[in-house]
Structure formats: C-alpha cells, structure tokens
Amino acid sequence: MTGHPAIPEPYPYLARLNPEQREAVETLDGPLLVLAGAGTGKTRVLTTRFAHLLLTGRAHPGQVLAVTFTNKAAREMRERIAAMIGRPVEGLWLGTFHSLCARMLRRHAERVGLRSTFTILDTDDQLRLLKQVMEAERIDLKRWPAQAMMAEIQRWKDRALIPTAVTPAEDSGYANGRGRDLYAAYQRRLIELNAADFGDLLLHVTELLKREPDVLEEAHRRFRYILVDEYQDTNLIQYLWLRLLAQKHRNICCVGDDDQSIYSWRGAEIENILRFERDFPGAKIVRLERNYRSTAPILAAASALIAHNEGRLGKTLRPAGASAEGEKVEVQALWDSEEEARAVGARIEALRRDGHALAEIAILVRAGFQTRAFEERLITLGIPYRVIGGLRFYERAEIRDAMAYMRVLHQPADDLAFERIVNVPKRGLGDAALRLLHQTARRESIPLALAADRIAQSDALKGRPRAALAQLVRDFARWRAMLDREGHVATVAAMLDESGYTEMWRQDRSPEAPGRLDNLRELVRAIADFETLGGFLEHVALVMENDQVAEGDRVSLMTLHAAKGLEFDTVFLPGWEEGLFPNQRALDEGGAKALEEERRLAYVGLTRARRRAIVSWAANRRIYANWQSCIPSRFLAELPEEHIARATASSVAARPVDAAASVFPAVGFGGTHRGRVIEAGAWEVAPRPARADRFSVGDRVFHQKFGYGTVQSVDGDKLDVAFPTGVKRLLDRFVERA
C-alpha cells in the first residue's frame, strides 16, 4: 500500500492506509466529505486523522472538536487515539452531540436562564412534565395525547425552532392550534425546574452561538478543526450547530455513508450529506470503496440492492485483496415464522458443530417482536444467545427511583424527581397530599421540596401524612449535610437505606425483587467512579449505557438498527416479507422515500456479514390475532441471481397456493450447496397435515427425532405425546400417524 518505500516516512501510520484513506487523513485544510462505504475503514480514517492533527502539530488536543452519535463510538475513538499517540490524551473535545452541548451549556447556563447545575431530563420526565403543562392548560388529554405533542415539540427542536419561530407552516394544528403555546409553556416550566431535555441541549447552544457573538467567537478561538462521524444521520439543528462552529476556519471533515442513513424517523436529514458540496463550497470529496470486511458475493448482493435507490451520491463497494471468492448469499423460503426459527436454529447448530464461534453469528430482524420466535427456538436447542437493545439499565424502575432521590439531593428544585419519590416507598402521601404540595408550590412560586418544608411546619396536613412529610424533609436536610462531610458514595448508600427504599424491595416477594436489589448495589458501586454526584447524574442522563458486557460465546439477536456499525462472520436476515420488510407502516407514512430507507436498512443488514449471509422469508406469519399469508419482499427480487442460492422448503413448495410460493421454484432439500450436502433433517421440514387430520388422545404417532409415542392430550394444534424418552409438548404437524 505504500507508494514510495525508498523515502523514509515520518508518519509510519500513514503507510498502513490505502491511497483514498490516506488522502482523507492528509487533507487537513478546508471542508472534506469522506464517503465511507460499509467496512471501508471509516473509524481508522477518523482516528488516524485526529492523531495526525496532533502529531503534525497542527492542533492541540483541545483545538479539535470531534462529534459522534453514540457514546460507544466516542469511547472507541478515544481509545484508538490514545493507542496511536501512545498515552491517554487529556482535554479532548470528543463526544456525542449531546454531551458536547451539555458541556458548553454548563459554561453559559445563566445566559439561557438556567444554572450550571441544571438537570437533564429523560423521555419519561419530559412526558410527565408536558402532561402537567397540558393539564394546566386544560387540554383534553384523551383527545390530544401528550405523546403526540411531545413528538411535535421534538420535531420542532430538531429543526432548531424555538417557540416564537414556529410558523403556521411548521405547526400541525395539534390541540386546535395551541401546540405553539403548549411548547412555550413547556419551555418555561423547564427553566423553572432548572432542567433541559435532550433537544434543549442543542437548541440552547445553537441559540447562544447565533445570538451571543462572544460565545461564537470563543468557540471559534477554541475549535480549529472539526470532525464529524455518521454525518448522514445529522438533523437540521446539528447541521446548523456544525455550520456555526465551522464557518470561521472551515476545517470541517464529515465522514458518513448516505447508503446507511436509517434514522430519518428520528429527524435525520439525509439531505445534509447529499448537499455537502453546496453547503461548503470548495469541498473535497473522498470515496472509500475498498471493503475489507465481506466476501465478493455479499458485496455484490448489497451493491445490487442499494443500486435500486435513486437519491444517493453513488459508491461501489469493491472487495479488497483476495476475498473475491466466498459462499453465495442464501435466500430461503419457509412455511412460517416457526419454521424459519427452526431453520435458523438448525443452521446455527451445524455451524457450532463445525467449530464456528457463536459470538460470530447474528440474527438481525426488522422489528423487535420477531426475536421471540428465535429466542424460543434457541432456548429449546440450548444455544446461548443475547438480545441486544431492549431495556436499558437506567430505564429500570428501581434505578430511576434511586436516581430521583439523588436528583433531589443534588438539585432540590427538581420537582419531577421529588414527585417521583415523595411516596416511594409508601409514606401515606397520596393524591390529597400531593395536590396540597402543588398548590403551595404554585402559590408561592417555590419548588415542591421547599413547599414540603412549609407544609410540614404549618398545620395544613394532620396526623400520619404530616409526620411522614416532616420526616422526609428532615431526612433530606440531613443527607444534604452528610454529602459535604462524607462524600457522595456514602451518602447515597445511606439515603437509599434510611429512606426505606431498599427495605421496600427486600419486603417485596415478587420474583424480580432480588434482581432489583442487585441493580441498586451495582448503581451505588458505579457512583464511586465519579468524583461528584453531579458528574454521575450527567453521565447517567447522557450515557444511557446500553452495551452489555460481551460475556461468553453467544449468538447475538437484535434489530437491524441496532446492528449498524457491527460485523459478524455469519448473519441471518429473517422476515424479508412485504409488509414486514419493507415495513408497511413506514411505507404508509413516508412513501417512496421510506422505501429507500427500508432498502438502506437491508443494505446495512447484508453488509454486516463477513462470510455468510442467510436471508429468509416466511409464507405465513401471525400478525396479532390471525395468520396472514405473505409475499416475499421486493428486496429479494433485487438481489443479483448469480450471487444468490435460493432454496424453498418443501412445506412451502408443496402448497403453491398463492403468488408467494410461485415466485421461487422449489429446489427441495437434500441437494448440494457448495459441495456440502444439506441434510433434510437439519431443516426439520415436514408436510403439514390437512386441517381435518386431527389427533386424539390415545393415538399412536411417530416423530422424526423422538420416535414412536402415544398422544396424552390435545390442545389445539399442540400435543402432549408420551415417548419412550418422556412426555414432550409439540405441534401436531411434526408427527405423523404411526
């Protein structure tokens, strides 16, 4: 890869780059767009470029602003830069849009009416607050769900619109056109609570950069070079923020892949990357097209598929090196989602027998509910797996409760937190007490915590509630004093104990309770990693840590969205049916544009695979209550025939009742594929018995695996059958009359 071995290279790491990568690293001045296809060494370019800026003396660590979308990406980049430099680098402005904005906003909080201790609200708090605002404005929440209003507010914030900037054209007319007022009231409440939601972090900072020349100047003085990862996923306000920061020096390098833009529904505007050249005149564009990840057939399949999209800058992935060979991409037609799960399970077993690591296998689905069938099958087969995504640690109720205690301790004006814990554990402070608290707080314009103090000293409440409230007020005063003397770790531990919160879970007899106590212990342990309570709270708000420790050799199960940025030797892509993928609802909402985004999702899925991609679709799928027969996804027809091996399970082929089955001719099983015999047994395909062909108790039956047995009971299509090896519960279609 090195062009001139005779000339000594002052920067040896450059020699490890291919020419395009090298160009992307060495073009330090002026705007640069790096179009980095999947698996083309994007992260390497980004980190090398950062290190190069430092090592050439172009910039000090604090003069580079590097933005990512996820904390994971930021962490990875930080580690790789440290590895290249040879030591951890201090003072980097490297992080997510939100964490960088939070950092900037804390410096200038007072300019937007906040204090630097402001709380960052999560989605749950946001919604609760908005509901309160809407109730106060006498909006009928049944007619106008707060959820929808929240979505609209978020859309406005993504588009950099403060309440006064919302024009009728941007207003959907929600709540009889009162959306804008509600938005304004919501923003006022946030300031009163000394709080900001996620959108505010960018909104406030962008407003500051626009309005306050000295803030902008300071930023320009500081940031000489800007690096942006995943540029295709930026929304309008992120784009504006970047443009404001970059307008002076114009040293902005954006890395992205328009073909992997899959977050438009979160406000991402693919147009940002498509019109980069117009936004930054004189911009240079470098394309990274050498793919170091996947085999030629996988790349050919992915390329052919994505070529069906119109709005793209255009790139072709070429296999790097000698990976021109490889297995064809398999396309399997199965009877239903259960057969699909069995086929995938059997294939995984076979891979495992051949010595493949389970950690190198992933099942990528379009929608979360699809994982269930696979989970059940993997459990049955005893194959370890992990589901990535889903519940996050900091979203669990016990963690959020504990966090609320800490928030009240740290920032007594945090009414949302106070409200959450005032009666957790139960203190006899119900609706009536809460209403009184709110009344007092509103009348005197004070936070709830302070109102609690007033009420405890007055005789507005009597008996048990009054004593409980007084106790809570005294407790918080004591914990706050303790915080200064004994530090945050000891204080939080004491607070959770003395408040009775831990005791509440100890008393709880539900099966989850012990796990929750474990989580609480883990939480207290995590606090020790931070110097201050404020630092910890910010971490939790912004770094909703979601990556489970990759312990053990397990199959990964996740959505296609969650898979972006990951890679595996073997990737299963089930559920390629019209309606599911491409998703009907997405199509209904977004039309042709949405179809292209669905296709990009398919592209992302395929390009996750290094060596093997197995796509499948099921002719029947149960949607809610009833079964529905499915048509194969149009994406299947867009795959290039010469790189594809198609197979149709006999259960589908035997029943060419609909158009679905006739699209692919049956190939049957027991055929050979790349020289290996696929045993029919591995597919566990059996003809379905006709509807009338029911079993009754006492019937003798035969099963492929368990042999002969006797039917013990019948429950719909499920049978309990006594085999010599024991009683098994199975579906009637897997046994035949003996």
Partner DNA sequence: CTAATATTTATTTTT
Partner DNA sequence: TAAATATTAG
By annotation, the residues acting in catalysis are: 42-43, 229-230, 260, 608
Cβ closer to DNA: 85 or 631?
631
Q: For residue 467, how many other CB atoms are within 10 A of its CB? A: 14
317 CB-side CA count, 13 A: 32
Contact flag: residue 431 with DNA (CB under 7 A):
yes
Identify the CA nearest to 548 among candidates 388, 666, 405.
Answer: 388
Phi and psi of 674, rounded to 5°?
50, 45
Cα torsion 513, 516, 517, 522 to 10°: value is 170
Contact flag: residue 586 with DNA (CB under 7 A):
yes
Contact flag: residue 389 with DNA (CB under 7 A):
yes
Tell me which of 28, 43, 61, 72 binds DNA, using CB under 7 A: 72
Cβ closer to DNA: 38 or 543?
543
Cβ closer to DNA: 621 or 703?
621
Task: Name the DSSP letter for residue 693.
Answer: -
Task: Name the DSSP letter for residue 632.
Answer: B
Q: For residue 566, how many other CB atoms are within 10 A of its CB? A: 14
Cβ closer to DNA: 83 or 544?
544
Instruction: Point out which span in 93-101, 108-116, 270-278, 309-317 binds DNA (CB under 7 A).
Output: 93-101
How far apart (Å, rounded) are the C-alpha atoms in residues 616 and 331?
5
Instruction: Point out which span in 205-213, 219-227, 274-282, 538-546 binds DNA (CB under 7 A).
Output: 538-546
Compute the least distance from the CB of residue 105 to DNA, in Å: 13
Tell me which of 309, 423, 629, 712 binds DNA, using CB under 7 A: 423
Contact flag: residue 710 with DNA (CB under 7 A):
no
> Which amino acid makes up residue 207?
E
Tell me which of 104, 150, 226, 429 binds DNA, using CB under 7 A: 429
Site for DNA in 189-248 (CB under 7 A): 198, 230, 233
At residue 589's C-alpha, the angle toward residues 585 and 593, to 5°, is: 105
Contact flag: residue 544 with DNA (CB under 7 A):
yes
Contact flag: residue 627 with DNA (CB under 7 A):
no
Helix (H, G, I), strand (E, B) or coil at 285: strand
Compute the least distance from the CB of residue 113 to DNA, in Å: 22
Q: Sign of the C-alpha dihedral, residues 554, 560, 562, 568? A: positive
Identify the CA nearest to 629 among candidates 661, 605, 583.
Answer: 661
Contact flag: residue 284 with DNA (CB under 7 A):
no
Task: Name the DSSP letter for residue 545.
Answer: -
Instruction: Point out which span in 23-31, 308-316, 427-435, 629-637 binds DNA (CB under 7 A).
Output: 427-435
Instruction: Point out which span in 162-170, 243-251, 448-456, 585-593 binds DNA (CB under 7 A).
Output: 585-593
Tell me which of 562, 609, 644, 653 binds DNA, using CB under 7 A: 562
Contact flag: residue 697 with DNA (CB under 7 A):
no
**Tokens 């090896």, located at residue:** 725
Contact flag: residue 426 with DNA (CB under 7 A):
yes
Cβ closer to DNA: 15 or 544?
544
Instruction: Point out which span in 29-37, 94-102, 489-497, 697-705 binds DNA (CB under 7 A).
Output: 94-102
Given a contact cutoff of 8 angstroms between Cβ atoms, the answer to whether 489 and 529 are in contact is no
Contact flag: residue 263 with DNA (CB under 7 A):
yes
Cβ closer to DNA: 589 or 642?
589
Compute the least distance from the CB of residue 3 to DNA, in Å: 35
Contact flag: residue 369 with DNA (CB under 7 A):
yes
Given a contact cutoff of 8 angstroms between Cβ atoms, the answer to whether 283 and 33 are in contact is yes
Compute the least distance from the CB of residue 368 to DNA, in Å: 3
Cβ closer to DNA: 208 or 468?
468
Compute the least distance from the CB of residue 448 to DNA, in Å: 16
Compute the least distance from the CB of residue 426 to DNA, in Å: 5
Tell me which of 42, 49, 78, 98 binds DNA, using CB under 7 A: 98
**Tokens 């939480």, located at residue:** 523
Identify the CA nearest to 345 among candidates 369, 373, 386.
Answer: 373
Tell me which of 43, 70, 548, 629 binds DNA, using CB under 7 A: 70
How far apart (Å, rounded) are the C-alpha atoms in residues 423 and 655?
60
Given a contact cutoff of 8 angstroms between Cβ atoms, the answer to whether 350 and 655 are in contact is no
Contact flag: residue 142 with DNA (CB under 7 A):
yes
Cα torsion 95, 96, 97, 99 to 10°: value is -70
Contact flag: residue 664 with DNA (CB under 7 A):
no
Q: For residue 416, how many other CB atoms are within 10 A of its CB? A: 22
How far apart (Å, rounded) are the C-alpha atoms in residues 315 and 365?
26
Instruction: Point out which span in 57-65, 82-90, 425-433, 649-657 binds DNA (CB under 7 A).
Output: 425-433
**Tokens 């050919």, located at residue:** 300
Contact flag: residue 625 with DNA (CB under 7 A):
yes
> Which amino acid makes up residue 678?
I
Q: How many residues bind DNA (CB under 7 A)?
A: 43
Compute the least distance from the CB of residue 282 to DNA, in Å: 28
Compute the least distance from the CB of residue 16 to DNA, in Å: 27
Residue 54: C-alpha distances to residues 19, 28, 544, 592 (Å) = 21, 11, 30, 44
Given a contact cutoff of 8 angstroms between Cβ atoms, the answer to whether 284 and 25 are in contact is no
Contact flag: residue 71 with DNA (CB under 7 A):
yes
Cβ closer to DNA: 54 or 150?
150
| DSSP notation for 205-259 | HHHHHHH-HHHHHHHHHH-SEEEESSGGG--HHHHHHHHHHHTTT--EEEEE-GG
Contact flag: residue 11 with DNA (CB under 7 A):
no
Instruction: Point out which span in 277-285, 426-434, 481-489, 662-670 binds DNA (CB under 7 A).
Output: 426-434
Phi and psi of 728, rounded to 5°?
-120, 145
| DSSP notation for 558-584 | EEHHHHTT--EEEEEE---BTBBTTBH
- Cis peptide before 582, with omega less than 30 degrees from 0? yes
Residues of 338-364 as b/e, b for ≥16 C-beta within 10 angstroms?
bbbbbbbbbbbeebbeeebebbbbbbb
Compute the least distance from the CB of residue 298 to DNA, in Å: 23
Compute the least distance from the CB of residue 96 to DNA, in Å: 4
Instruction: Point out which span in 70-78, 164-172, 637-645, 679-687 binds DNA (CB under 7 A).
Output: 70-78
Cβ closer to DNA: 230 or 330?
230
Q: For binding to DNA (CB under 7 A), which residues are involved? A: 69-72, 96, 98-99, 123, 142, 145, 198, 230, 233, 263, 265-266, 268, 366-369, 389, 392, 423, 426, 428-431, 542-544, 546, 558-559, 561-562, 583, 585-586, 589, 624-625
